[in-house]
Amino acid sequence: MQAWPGKPFPLGPEWDGSGTNFSLFSEHAERVELCLFDGNDEELRIELQEREAFNWHCYLPGVGPGQRYGYRVYGAYDPASGRRFNPAKLLIDPYAKAIEGPVDWNAANTLPYVPSADDDADLYLDDEDDAEAIPKCVVVDPHFDWDDDRRPAHPWNEMVIYEVHVKGFTKLSNEVREDLRGTYAGLASEPAIEYLRALGVTAVELLPVHHIIDEGFLHDRGLTNYWGYSSIGYLAPHALYAATGSRGEQVREFKGMVKALHGAGIEVILDVVYNHTAEGNHLGPVLSFKGVDNQSYYRLVPDDPRHYMDFTGTGNSLNPVHPSVLRLIMDSLRYFVIECHVDGFRFDLASALAREFYEVDRLSAFFDTIHQDPVLSQVKLIAEPWDVGPGGYQVGNFPVLWAEWNGLYRDTMRDFWRAQSNVAQFASRFTGSSDLYQLDGRAPFASINFITAHDGFTLHDLVSYNGKHNEANGEDNNDGTDDNRSWNHGVEGPTDDPEVAALRARQQRNFLATLFLSQGVPMLLGGDEFGRSQRGNNNAWCQDNELSWFRWDEADEELTEFTRRLIELRQAHPVFRRSRFLSGHETKGSGLPDVWWFRPDGRRMTQKDWQRPDAHTLGVFLNGAEITERTPEGDEIDDDSFLLLFNAYGDEITFTLPTRRFGARWSLELATSNDLPAGPMWTARSQVTLEGRSLALFKRV
């Protein structure tokens, strides 16, 4: 086959209608071969003769979409110096736009060394060819008919995020066509979109969809990496989530999903894993980066480059300090924004990306590059603000433009509803965590509020289990956190005790109501709205089965309707979703402050009241006449005013409503207990008895 010189940029394969340009970065390689595969897996090797800016490249006329390929990269195999080149191992292109599927661990040895139990096993080169085991990259046709697709571009303060797994959401849905269940097309189907629209969410935050490779030890256990935090292809949608095929069809199907969700006014946020890859530690396989240029792509221990810095708990850490690795991350982000129209990203273990060397640096090159980018600086950016390295917990420390998963919100709310957190901590988190975000110029929506997420208990399990039950993971229940802040309410796991069941149901409503009535951006774990359980497993990362999939036939319709009502209430009333922090003062002449806190006797909270460690009841007045923000057209915003009563004690508490100046008459808008009558009007200074562990919301009339 004739090979022309081609161009060093862009990296990866680029089809121009007549042929394809291939370009691969490797600073330390000595030779590079492009390997083409036909439908029978016959291999044709083409040595890349051109090298510019450390990019090895060529142009192949007549080669186009559907062409399967990989690379073989030559150089020294000297792990002690950080070099792990082995041309016997076929490599996945870091810039591949499509990858066929999984590694076939049984087909060949994907380790660069001869498998052995010896501590120094990785020092000895293995020459077994593993092309049969490695999924092939695929050249794709980038064209797609987007019609008049537009990003919904919801303002942050109108966002309701739904964290969901592409496969798990529809895999067991009888409403979705059988051949589409568990796929991008399934999530784009009319029943799936109608459910999300009816629920009221404005964005789906998808667990990782970059191409995933399962860890080899999971294969040995008969398990797979369900969550997908094991990326190998940062520009390739995961092939196994496609209903239409894996030789480029997955790209078109992914784009079709985004287009369909946009048509329903729903944004698409991707959970991205740029902190580590699927290649593991020094004993892990060579699949891509490790064999292309280990010294450039990974953070190696400075005085022991045989081993990897591990800020992630996975065995390796990508090296965003290297310009070409930082370029890969940025090119991946831009590709999914520009070519795939996604609306934002949630960065897994984002502190690892901000480490210049060892310390987490909020002024790192990673942040600088994003902030200066005219495309990426305009999409939604969400950090998981921690990693497992020293000083990695960085909640509140990310720069302007970033929102953060607020782990302190999660912990405080879990503690409050089991009477383990006082009212001062609760009030701070409920009002947007100004102590974390206000001083550096951010707004309440910098706080992504959540009670549960994929990592940990579901909401149902949070109120049903005191401890984790992860035996199915095959690690003797040693995996997963023990810091659950959960409470089983007297019985571990399923129960037929009506009192326990009723209290658990009320606690789920308490958590949901607290979440959606808090200032900040609410994130709902998919399935929590109908009581999805993982049977006490708080680390179901490897459970690609009915334990993790949405079991729609078990859905609690009453809880779903309660959640819909909460989201509808939030969206209808700006007082619950302000874009500026509350001040506790009057600024618009209403005669009342924007927020006012009171005790059960209806009197104002004092400093002594706030400091009481045993205080677990609280009332708050939210003034809809003191919203200082304006509409996009510059008009003032006026809203209803509300009272919220919280009782986290186990016993009932009688509240006295505030004086007439706050409101003469009140109607019950919502309650998590069934004991309060909905019909009558409540007047100033009237008494309201709240059942233990419940809340009530009143609207001024």
Q: Are residues 355 and 480 in the same domain?
A: yes
Task: Please name the residue that has the structure tokens 């990508």.
Answer: 318
The answer to whether residue 149 is domain-embedded is: no
Based on the fold, state whether residues 56 and 106 are members of the same structural domain.
yes
148 lies in a domain?
no
Q: Are residues 196 and 118 in the same domain?
A: no
Task: Assign 351 a pLDDT band (cuts: 50, 70, 90).
Answer: confident
Confidence of residue 454 (pLDDT cuts 50, 70, 90): very high
Residues 38 and 172 grouped into a single domain: no
Kindly list the catalytic residues: 348, 384
Compute the mean pLDDT over every residue in the chain, rounded to the nearest whole number.
96
Residue 363 has pLDDT above 60, yes or no: no
* Number of structural domains in the chain: 3
Segment 392-444, tens digit of pLDDT: 889 988 999 999 999 999 999 999 999 999 999 999 999 999 999 999 999 99
Residue 152 lies in a domain: no
What mean pLDDT do residues 477-505 have?
Answer: 98
Q: What is the pLDDT of residue 357?
A: 57
If asked whether residues 163 and 226 sit together in one domain, one would say: yes
Lowest model confidence (mean pLDDT) among 22-31, 416-425, 474-483, 673-682:
673-682
Range of the domain at 542: 157-575
Mean pLDDT of 588-617: 97
Find where tokens 């799936």 sit: 192
Tens-place pLDDT, residues 257-282: 999 999 999 999 999 999 999 999 99
Cβ(264)–Cβ(149) below 8 Å: no
Q: Residue 361 to residues 256, 355, 367, 595: CA-CA distances in angstroms? A: 38, 6, 9, 36
Q: Residue 514 phi/psi, 5° resolution?
A: -60, -45
Nearest-angstrom CA–CA distance, 366 and 628: 35
Point out the domain boundary residue: 575, 604, 622: 575
Between 356 and 615, residue with greater pLDDT: 615
Q: How confident is the model at residue 362 (pLDDT cuts 50, 70, 90)?
A: low
pLDDT tens by residue, 616-630:
999 999 999 999 999
Q: Is the pLDDT of residue 526 over 90?
A: yes
Task: Supply 369's token pair.
Answer: 């590059």
For 540, the 3-state DSSP assignment is helix
Q: Are residues 484 and 518 in the same domain?
A: yes
Residue 21 belongs to domain with CATH number: 2.60.40.10
> Is 7 a member of any domain?
no
Same domain, 174 and 263: yes
The residue type of 552 is W
pLDDT band (50, 70, 90) for residue 360: low
User: What's the pLDDT tens digit per position in 68-121?
Assistant: 999 999 999 999 999 999 999 999 999 999 999 999 999 999 999 999 999 999
Q: Looking at the predicted structure, is the pLDDT value of residue 677 above 90? A: no
> Same domain for 426 and 445?
yes
- DSSP conformational letter for 335: I
pLDDT computed for residue 409 by the predictor = 98
pLDDT confidence band for 604 (50 / 70 / 90): very high
Question: What pLDDT does residue 9 have?
Answer: 98
Q: What is the pLDDT of residues 469-485, one digit of tens each?
A: 999 999 999 999 999 99
Q: What CATH number does residue 621 fall under? A: 2.60.40.1180
CB-based burial label for 374 (10 Å; 0-12, 13-18, 19+): exposed
Say yes or no: 570 and 600 in one domain: no
226 CB contacts (<8 Å, ≥6 apart)?
165, 167, 168, 540, 541, 542, 543, 544, 548
Return d(Cα 164, Cα 175) in angstroms, integer: 18
Give the end of a domain, one of 109, 138, 167. 138
For residue 549, is pLDDT > 70?
A: yes
pLDDT score of 504 more than 80: yes
**Contact criterion met (CB below 8 Å) for 535 and 493:** yes
In a domain, 117, yes or no: yes
Residue 358's pLDDT is what? 61
The answer to whether residues 256 and 332 belong to one domain is yes
Mean pLDDT of 17-40: 98
Q: Does 658 reside within a domain?
A: yes
Q: What is the mean pLDDT of residues 574-581?
A: 98
Say which residues have a Cβ less than 8 Å from residue 407's Cβ, sequence separation at least 6. Answer: 385, 386, 393, 395
594-599 long-range Cβ contacts below 8 angstroms, 24+ apart = 594/622, 594/623, 594/626, 594/627, 594/628, 595/431, 595/620, 595/621, 595/622, 595/623, 596/620, 596/621, 596/623, 596/658, 596/662, 597/427, 597/621, 598/658
Residue 565 resides in a domain: yes
Residue 386's pLDDT is 84
Residue 678 has pLDDT above 80, yes or no: no
Helix (H, G, I), strand (E, B) or coil at 409: helix
Report the CATH number at residue 571: 3.20.20.80
Residues 204, 261 contacting (CB under 8 angstroms): yes
Query: What's the average model confidence in pLDDT over 329-334?
Result: 98
Residue 695 maps to a domain: yes
Identify the burial level of 136 via C-beta atoms within 10 angstroms of its C-beta, where 0-12 means exposed, 13-18 middle and 19 or more buried.
buried
Residues 326 and 445 in one domain: yes
Average pLDDT for 442-452 = 97
What's the pLDDT score for residue 291? 98
126 Cβ contact list (under 8 Å, min separation 6): 86, 88, 109, 111, 112, 113, 114, 115
Same domain, 322 and 433: yes
- Domain end position, chosen among 549, 575, 601: 575
